[in-house]
A and B are shown apart, each in its own frame.
Chain A
Amino acid sequence: MNFVLIGVNHKSAPLQVRERLAIPAARLQEATLSLLSVPCVREGMILSTCNRVEFLTYQEPAQADLLEFIQNYFAIGKEALHPYMYEYRASEVVRHVFRVASSLDSLVVGEPQILGQVKESYSLARSIGGINNNLDPLMQRAFTVARKVRNQTSIGISSVSIASVAVDLARKIFGSLQGKTVLLMGAGKMGELAARSMMQHGASTIYICNRTYERAVELAGKFPGVRSESGSATGQSAIVQPISYDLLHQYAATADIIVSSTGSENPIFNRKHAEQYMQRRKQRPMFFIDIAVPRDVDPEINSVEGVFVYNIDDLQAVAVSNMSSRTKEAMNAEVIIRTEVERYTQRMQSLNGVPSIVALQQTLEDVRQSEMRRMAPRFAQMSSEQLQAVEQMTRALVHKLQHAPIQAIKRAAQEGDRETLAVIQNVFDLEHHEKPIEATGKAESMVGQNEKETAFAPTPDATATKSADSAAAKPVTVKEDCLP
């Protein structure tokens, strides 16, 4: 398993570092292509969320210097980056990916958005050829494990969402949200959820602003009871009004709560803006919820009297402090992850024995066919039924003879017992018959399929053999530009 994962997350790096590495959705494809152009990186995908930026790769035959790639890509010095980066390899990657997809590595453990974000990154990487036979089974398994964790534990049931934390904080400032005005800046999903939650808690006016006015109109359409541009309500208690970006600061001064989640690389709201707003609203408190990474709201604004700024880390820290009851569920989920990682790792290791199994089967089949050909003149007098019976008998004989060595190969592969593997290869003279299998992907897919049928039971030999047969079908493809 030549998996390598390198990245930063909310635990390893502060928001100031994460926002320098954040990759907007619009640039993710180009960034993934850049990653794939790194020598030795056969497959790769990038996960960039508000909590993490991670580069998942499959490398062969040598190790690529991903840290150097990141330094060059983001034009950041090693000193500024190195203390915050983490790197996982082989089975550590499997564990990490499973934990991320299952939301166990999230700051708000159990939050549901992460799985969707992982799937989006996966789809994008797959569409540009970044995901193939090695990463695909890993990601598919990660999605299955995530579903399993969610179904078998209550980790998501009591999820303290960022939206609910934002509402709670707004209540600490305003008491009730009845009659309050909310400005939603940007089209981020989490921002939309927060604004929607505030509307449900009584906010009377929702202004929606986006650099592209049509996008604001489109987003407004997702809220119940979209209003006309004049903002007049039509049968609903709340007014939902898309506004032009040019009028942002004019409307912002009237908003009690500003939820910002744009992909902007520079702050949209600065201290001067906040001071102007406060003057216009006679010092009535204002609450900025900055969900964007990089941040949309200059943190200096928090020092303006009456203005409260909470960024994504602040919101999540509050959420974490509210969820002690989830610890037990998280522990149960960790047990599932541990079991799944072991299972996946064992399967990967057993796949290392597949070329030997295939070679053994091929050798014995060659012997059988050779003997059948040699005996063919003597079988000339036999009827077709008799010939078929002989054929079946020899096949059955070969299957029975190869059963014990195949079991031994599988055991040795799982245990990493190279000596036993070598002995079996010598005894059966398999070295000359072994064919490389394309990065185990196809075979692994087959084993994955088999596992659906035998999820909690040992894989029958026949199935393994069939998998191995299938696995042997494709040759290895190696990039020309990668030297060990």
Chain B
Amino acid sequence: MAMYLIWLRVALVLYGVSSLTVIPDVLTGHDRWRKFVHPVCVSAFYFHLVALVEMMRLAHHWVPASLHEVETSFALLLTLTFLAIYWRYRAISFGLFVLPVIFLLLLLPAAQPDHAPVSSQWMHNGWILLHIALLLVAYTLLLFSLLSSLLYLIQERRLKNKQIGGIFSHLPPLDTIDHIAFVTLVIGLPCMTLGLLAGALIAQESVGAAYFLDPKVLLSIGMWVLYVWMLYVRRHTGLRGKRAVYLSSLVFLMALTVWVANQFSTVHRFPAP
């Protein structure tokens, strides 16, 4: 059994533990849980990182292209962003949603090795690495923006209904949640733009102008336009609350569709020889 599987399973267990312990932390706001969640999560991140490096080293490439590699990389980015937000804003509440997602994402890669390894001439191309890495970061930030909007909605409802104590009593302040939602979107925009540009350059070089007719490419362009529009609306009208959740959900749904569109894409395949 490959060593990375052991590290990944250790990370999986730790994520499982932190997913469970974050629940009383967020719902009751007791500090003793937080003292537990944070170090467990950091340890999980460490094993996760080691496992990913080992996984990629065994695959002889640094581009996460297979399903397991993408899931593991995406999960790592989610953990990193979660920890960054925690360190910056002391907002542990995101863990309630993100940690179970990370756990689920790692279930499959930790269960068994990838039986359909990707092998392609592009695997050692720096543009591909840039394309995938930037888009994964953009998706991660988009997910956090969506979560922020959801938390904003919860906190807004609580404050409007004068529910100050009880569960969710330790959610971050509204302004902080709104700030996180906006900052993640703003940082995500250049990542998505550059990631798509890098993809466009690669497609132009390999397929030619016909790549524009590919459903994935068309959806990607649509997603980018929607993303920019959402950012514009938030910036200029101060969109918050319910409508912000709807808009973020729409963009995130679009991103998921783009990802699913891989199955129908002719230019976005990395088949094994």
Report which A residues bind B (CB closer than 8 A): 169, 171-175, 281-285, 302-303, 305-306, 308, 310, 314, 317-318, 321
Q: Write the B211-248 contact mask toward A (1 if CB under 8 angstroms, else 0).
A: 00000000000000000000000001111111000000
The 5 closest A-B pairs by CB, nearest first: A282-B238, A283-B238, A175-B173, A175-B175, A175-B176
**Given contact pairs A169-B164, A172-B159, A306 touches B241 in the complex (Cβ within 8 A):** yes
Task: Assess the B173–A172 pair: CB atoms within 8 A.
Answer: yes
**Considering the chains assembled together, what is the distance between the CA atoms of A306 and B157 in angstroms?**
10
Interchain CA distance A306-B175 in the complex, whole Å: 11
B238–A308 touching, CB < 8 Å: no
B13 within 8 Å of A (CB atoms): no
Q: Give the shortest distance, in Å, between B246 (CB) and chain A (any CB).
A: 13
A173-B175, A318-B162 given; 6 more Cβ-contact pairs under 8 Å: A175-B172, A175-B174, A282-B237, A305-B156, A306-B156, A306-B241
- Bound Cα distance A302, B160 (Å): 7
Q: List 20 A-B contacts (CB under 8 A).
A: A171-B173, A172-B155, A173-B173, A175-B172, A175-B173, A175-B175, A175-B176, A282-B236, A282-B237, A282-B238, A283-B240, A285-B240, A305-B241, A306-B241, A308-B159, A308-B160, A310-B162, A317-B162, A318-B162, A318-B164
Interface of B is mostly: helix
**In the complex, which of the residues B162, B174, B236 contacts A285, with contact meaning CB atoms closer than 8 Å?**
B174
Any chain A CB within 8 A of the CB of B271?
Answer: no
Q: How distant is the Cα of A263 from the Cα of B17 in the complex, in angstroms?
A: 56
With A169-B164, A308-B159, A310-B162 as known contacts, state yes or no: A174 contacts B237, CB within 8 Å.
Answer: no
> Are A174 and B162 interface neighbours, CB within 8 A?
no
Distance (Å) between the CB of B169 and the closest chain A CB?
9
Chain B nearest CB from A284 CB (Å) reads 6
Cβ-defined contact, B240 with A305, below 8 A: yes
Q: Which residue of A lies closest to B242 (CB)?
A: A305
A162 → B minimal CB distance (Å): 14
Which residues of chain B have a CB within 8 Å of any CB of chain A? 155-156, 159-160, 162, 164-165, 172-176, 236-242
Asked if A314 and B162 sit within 8 Å, CB to CB, the answer is yes
Q: A302-B160, A308-B160 are in contact. Are A284 and B165 (CB under 8 A)?
A: no
Query: Which residues of B are found within 8 Å of A321, using beta-carbon distances?
Result: 164-165
Q: Are A306 and B173 in contact (CB under 8 A)?
A: no
Min distance, Cβ A16 to any Cβ of chain B, angstroms: 16
What's the minimum C-beta distance from A246 to chain B, rounded to whole angstroms?
A: 28
A283 touches B239 (CB 8 A): yes
**Are B238 and A173 interface neighbours, CB within 8 A?**
no
Chain B proximity of A231: nearest CB distance (Å): 24
Residues from chain A with a CB closer than 8 A to the CB of B159 are 169, 172-173, 308
* Nearest residue, chain B, Cβ from A170: B173
A172 to B172, CA, bound (A): 7
Instruction: Give Cα distance in the complex from A173 to B179, angstroms.
Output: 12
Cα distance A295–B160 in the bound complex, in angstroms: 17
Contact B162 A173 (CB under 8 A): no
Report the Cα distance A281→B238, complex, angstroms.
8
B238 close to A174 (CB less than 8 A): no
Given the known A-B contacts A308-B159, A314-B162, A318-B164, are A173 and B240 also in contact in the complex, defined by CB atoms under 8 Å?
Answer: no
Closest B-chain residue to A180, C-beta based? B175
A contact residues around B165 at 8 Å (CB): 321
Contact B164 A306 (CB under 8 A): no
Find the A residue at minimum CB distance from B243. A305
Taken together as a complex, chains A and B put the C-alpha atoms of A290 and B142 apart, in Å, by 38
Task: Output the nearest chain A residue to B172 by Cβ-Cβ distance.
Answer: A175
Contacting residues, chain B, for A305 (C-beta < 8 A) = 156, 240-242
Residues of B within 8 A of A303 (CB): 160
Q: Cβ of B175 and Cβ of A174 under 8 Å apart? A: yes
With CB as the reference atom, state the residue of chain B lying closest to A319.
Answer: B164
How far in angstroms is the closest Cβ of chain A from B93? 13
Q: Which of A169, A171, A305 has the most CB of B within 10 A?
A: A305
Point out which of B173, B236, B241 has the most chain A C-beta atoms below 10 A from its C-beta: B173
